[in-house]
Amino acid sequence: MFANPLGLLSLLGIPAVLAIHFLQRKSILLPVSTLFLLERTQREATSGRRFERLIPSIPLWMQLLAILLLAWFLSEPRFKKANSVQRVAIVLDSSASMTVFKQQVIATLSEQLPKLQGRASSMELTLLPSLPGADRLYAGNSSEELLKTLENFTPDAGLIDPSYTLRLARSIVSNDGLVIYLTDTPAEIVPYEARLISVGKPVTNVGFTGISFEEKQGTLTWQAIIRNYSDTPAKRSWSLATSTGASTPRSFDIAAKSFLTIQAAYPLDAENVRLVLTPDDFTLDDTLPIIAPKPKALKLSTATSPAFKDLTDKLLRSLQSTQASSDAATSDLVITSYDPLDPILPGTNAILFVEDPTSVGKYLKGGILSEAHPLMDGINWQALLVRETLQLPRLPTDRVLLWQEKRPLICLREAAGKQILCFNFDLRLSNATQQPAFIVLLHRFAESIRAAKVAPESLNLETGQAILIATAPDLPIQVAASDPSGKKVAFSTPAQAPSQPGFLTISQNKSPLLRAAIHFADTREAD
């Protein structure tokens, strides 16, 4: 068997060499009286070149041997050896767009796998998903088992750089093995000497890209965005389905490469609510499970002096999903002021403003520097102007978030599992309330308290999205997932949303902590 059969074409040089050696020159008789006195002359042709006879010579045999050796090296002959093994590692593109061409992938591998064995007596196969850190899909020597594994595998990841997995595949098969990257996205260069097998073709796709909710006249209304990814106009229909039935399909036309927004009232007290489009080849974005969003309720209490009443009222109005509470001890967050002449600190999560009843001081001088902290990430305090006021006694454990020279302006104090955001100056003697950074910081702190609260909530999440959920210690967590129609599916990872659209419930001690609707919204894979 030859690895490069075209190399045998070099054997055509043999008749060419023989033809050259058949061309002889006819000699001319020169009558002389003293032939021995003449120098030997070369034979000259009188009628040009013609085929006459083949004269064996060393140059002839050397030229023929050179042609045979050249054909040998170019054709790369392979001989089957006993106990020889051909190692093949196949890296499968795990992006969601590969679901459209799954059957084509199986057909392509069915055709290519027998050719990959070559003259080896056996073949070791390894199938790896391109998602970094994922387990091997198959390792063995059976092509049929590999194809069966591939039949049961559903690619559902986003855009992935395959370099890490290709490097792993190369280390598995070593330098003598074959690495194959199977994808629907052609690449000019594939690293680690991998071979590229591309499948797929352009297909028409229309799908959902996202969902939002809004209260209109006391009615919860949803708005969904539909996108046509193809280069041609499309006609589709959508309907709203629940566990008890579905609405009448509504047709619509959508132009090429365009968006369309649809909206309607959310059906209260309905289960497994979902929007359904006319299906196409890419089905992940044809169904959009939805749920009425319900964040954790945050109990707020105010205990500031009358001087900060307007500020606290504005803050209460700006925070969503809050409940006013008159009991500071049971509140999730207390907004209070600190009088250095009456130093009493709250024992709960709090936002604390220093109140200075003394005379007005001078403006502080020096550069303003914010520390690296999630609460301060990406916000600008350079326009802040602060007058010198009385300060809050600083503890060694306080985390300073904002400095002006050596003067701490904002601190975060943590004690006994509670957090206090301390503004170490009188807000009335500054322009802090006019700074966007001030509002952003207050909202971030309030949301961090909400996130740490153990309470039920309802969210709309994307497939594969990380889930941060607060749980009580030392109690088991129960996870239940279902497909869009409500059929239960196996899933047990509370830290991440499922990779397929559907519904998710996370409970602890039989009390639900999270009810979520999972939808696909990766437009890179849908395009």
CATH number at residue 509: 2.60.40
pLDDT at 359: 66
**Mean pLDDT across 119-133:** 89
Calculate mean pLDDT across residues 492-517.
92
Give the pLDDT confidence score for residue 52 in this predicted structure. 59
Q: Is residue 207 part of a domain?
A: no
What band does 80 get if pLDDT is binned at 50, 70 and 90? Answer: low
- In-domain check, residue 497: yes
Tracing tokens 């059906």 back to the chain, one arrives at 267
Q: Indicate the residue type of 316.
A: L
Query: Mean per-residue pLDDT for 278-301?
Result: 93
Element spanning 314, H or E: helix 309-318
Average pLDDT over residues 134-158: 91
Place of tokens 């609460």: 375
Q: Where are the alpha helices (DSSP H) in 77-175?
A: 102-116, 143-152, 163-173
Whether 51 and 92 share a structural domain: no
Residue 141 within any structural domain of the chain: yes
pLDDT at residue 130, rounded to an integer: 92
**pLDDT in the model for residue 77:** 80
Instruction: For residue 153, report the phi and psi dihedrals to the nearest 5 degrees.
Output: -95, 135
pLDDT band, residue 66 (cuts 50/70/90)? very high
Residue 506 has pLDDT above 70, yes or no: yes
The dihedrals phi and psi of 35, each to the nearest 5 degrees, come to -65, -30
Asked if residue 208 belongs to a domain, the reply is no
* Neighbouring residues of 202: CB distance < 8 A, sequence distance ≥ 6: 230
Rank 50-59, 291-300, 332-341 by mean pLDDT and report only the highest.
Answer: 291-300
In whole angstroms, what is the distance from residue 504 CA to residue 460 CA?
10
Statement to judge: residues 364 and 431 lie in one domain: yes
How far apart (Å, rounded) are the C-alpha atoms in residues 290 and 271? 10
Q: How many CB atoms lie within 10 A of CB 399?
A: 14
Under 8 Å between Cβ of 94 and 130? yes
**If you ran DSSP here, which 8-state letter would residue 131 be given?**
S
Question: What does the buried/exposed string (b/e) look like for 374-389 if buried means 16 or more CB atoms within 10 Å of the residue's CB?
Answer: ebbeebebeebebebb
Reading the block at residue 60, the tokens are: 């002839």
- Band of the pLDDT at 73, cuts 50, 70, 90? confident
> Tokens 């085929």 sit at which residue?
51
pLDDT at 357 over 60: yes
User: What does the CA dihedral 382, 388, 389, 391 come to, rounded to 10 degrees?
Assistant: 70
Domain boundary among 255, 289, 323: 289
Instruction: Indicate the pLDDT class of residue 17, thresholds 50, 70 and 90.
Output: confident
Check whether residue 342 and residue 433 sit in a common domain: yes
Whether residue 306 is found in the same domain as residue 447:
yes
Instruction: Look up residue 376 and give its amino acid.
Output: M
pLDDT value of residue 399: 95
Is the pLDDT confidence value at 188 over 80? no
3 state DSSP class of 265 = strand
210 in a structural domain: no
| Domain identity same for 336 and 467 | no
| Whether residue 165 sits in one domain with residue 98 | yes
Domain annotation covers residue 203: no
Q: Is the pLDDT of residue 225 over 80?
A: yes
Percent of the chain with pLDDT over 70: 93
pLDDT value of residue 360: 74
Q: Give yes or no for a contact between 498 and 480, defined as CB atoms under 8 angstroms apart.
A: no
- Domain boundary, last residue among 404, 433, 452: 452
Give Cα 365 distance to the centre of its chain: 46
Q: pLDDT tier at 350 (50, 70, 90 boundaries)?
A: very high
- How confident is residue 479, by pLDDT bands cut at 50, 70 and 90? very high
The confidence score (pLDDT) of residue 504 equals 96
Q: Which domain holds residue 52?
A: 5-75
What mean pLDDT value characterizes the chain?
88
Q: Is the pLDDT of residue 57 over 90?
A: no
Residue 250 DSSP class: E
> Does 129 have pLDDT greater than 90?
yes
How many separate domains does the chain show? 5
Same domain, 369 and 426: yes
Q: Do 309 and 446 fall within a single domain?
A: yes
CB 287 within 8 A of CB 246: no
Which residue in this structure is represented by tokens 């001890």?
329
Residue 24 in this model has a pLDDT that exceeds 70: no
Q: Distance between CA 194 and CA 167 in Å, rounded? A: 9
Kindly state whether residues 430 and 506 are assigned to the same domain: no
Euclidean distance between CA atoms 90 and 102, whole angstroms:
15
**What DSSP state is assigned to residue 248?**
P
* Per-residue burial over 265-275, b = 16 or more CB atoms within 10 Å of its CB, e = otherwise: ebbeeeebbbb
Using CB atoms within 10 A of its CB, is residue 167 exposed (0-12), middle (13-18) or buried (19+)?
A: middle
Q: Cβ distance 49 to 23 under 8 Å?
A: yes
- Please say which residue of 198, 227, 244 terminates a domain: 198
Residue 205 inside a domain? The answer is: no
Instruction: Give percent of the chain with pLDDT exceeding 90.
Output: 53
Residue 518: its H or E element: strand 511-519
CB 126 within 8 A of CB 85: no
Query: What are the backbone dihedrals phi and psi of residue 324, each rounded to the nearest 5 degrees, phi first?
Result: -70, 140
Query: Are 129 and 40 in the same domain?
Result: no
**386 pLDDT tier (thresholds 50, 70, 90):** very high
312 and 442 fall within a common domain: yes
In 19-140, DSSP assigns E strands to 23-24, 50-51, 85-92, 122-129, 138-140
- Count of positions (residues) in the chain: 527
Rounded distance between C-alpha atoms, residue 75 and residue 452, angstroms = 69
- Mark whether 256 and 324 lie in a shared domain: no
User: What sign has the CA pseudo-torsion 120, 121, 124, 125?
Assistant: positive
**CB-based contact 242:271 (threshold 8 Å):** yes
Confidence of residue 37 (pLDDT cuts 50, 70, 90): low
3-state SS class at 416: coil
Say if residue 333's pLDDT is above 80: yes
For residue 441, give the amino acid letter: L
Q: Name the E strands within 333-482.
A: 333-338, 350-354, 368-370, 399-404, 407-415, 418-423, 457-462, 477-482
Band of residue 74 on the pLDDT scale cut at 50, 70, 90: confident
Q: How far out from the chain centre does Cα 356 lie?
A: 51
DSSP character for 230?
S
State CA 289 to chain mean position distance: 21
Which residues, other chains included, contact 74 with Cβ-Cβ below 8 Å and sequence gap of 6+? 4, 6, 7, 8, 10
| Tokens found for residue 455 | 């309470």
For the segment 193-218, the average pLDDT, to the nearest whole number, is 90
Pick the range with the lowest mean pLDDT from 12-16, 262-266, 409-413.
12-16
Is-contact 419 413, C-beta < 8 A?
yes
Per-residue confidence (pLDDT) for residue 301, from 0 to 100? 87
Work out the end-to-end distance of the chain between its first and last CA atoms, rounded to an integer number of angstroms.
44
